[in-house]
């Protein structure tokens, strides 16, 4: 995927992140909303991405994990816990996606996984002031998305 399309995917993943946890919904409605967001990311990847590339195999899941990470910035309770959980989910997707690419002989970048692991540990030090570092964490996640 070209860098401009990767930037567009980043912006598209940022759009629904504010609305994921904005109001109280039942678990069924919340699940439907998350499924619709994932389906929209799949459609976006199909329309914009190069489907011959094996990297597109887990690209919608990467977008979804990035969206979940950014959506944790809007939480009021247990924000640090859910930030760590969302980053762990993103790390899990990258690890197993990279593992499947490595079996196919593709080159794998481990730096993004190391940075996400550092982010999980870094967030734990700011349990008392999560609102003050929200912009810094957002820039950190966007940097991970754009560079890798």
pTM: 0.91
The SS3 call for residue 36 is helix
| pLDDT, tens digit (0-9, with 9 covering 90-100), for 50-105 | 888 888 989 999 999 999 999 999 888 888 899 999 999 999 999 999 999 999 88
Q: Which residue has the tokens 């940075």?
A: 115
> Cα separation of 66 and 48, whole Å?
18
> Cα separation of 141 and 35, whole Å?
22
| pLDDT, tens digit (0-9, with 9 covering 90-100), for 109-126 | 899 999 999 999 998 887
**Residues above pLDDT 70, as percent of the chain:** 99
Dihedral of alpha carbons 88, 76, 67, 11, sign: negative
What's the pLDDT at 115? 96
What's the pLDDT at 62? 95
């Amino acid at each position: 995927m070209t860098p401009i399309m990767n930037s567009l995917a980043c912006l598209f993943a940022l759009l629904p992140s504010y609305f994921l946890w904005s109001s109280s919904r039942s678990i069924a409605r919340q699940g439907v909303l998350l499924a619709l967001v994932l389906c929209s990311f799949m459609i976006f990847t199909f329309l914009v991405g190069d489907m011959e590339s094996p990297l597109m195999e887990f690209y919608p899941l990467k977008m979804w994990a990035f969206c979940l990470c950014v959506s944790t910035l809007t939480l009021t309770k247990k924000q640090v816990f859910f930030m760590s959980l969302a980053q762990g989910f993103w790390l899990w997707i990258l690890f197993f996606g990279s593992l499947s690419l490595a079996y196919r002989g593709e080159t794998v970048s481990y730096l993004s996984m190391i940075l996400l692991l550092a982010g999980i540990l870094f967030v734990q030090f700011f349990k008392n002031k999560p609102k003050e570092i929200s912009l810094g964490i957002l820039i950190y996640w966007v940097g991970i998305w754009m560079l890798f």
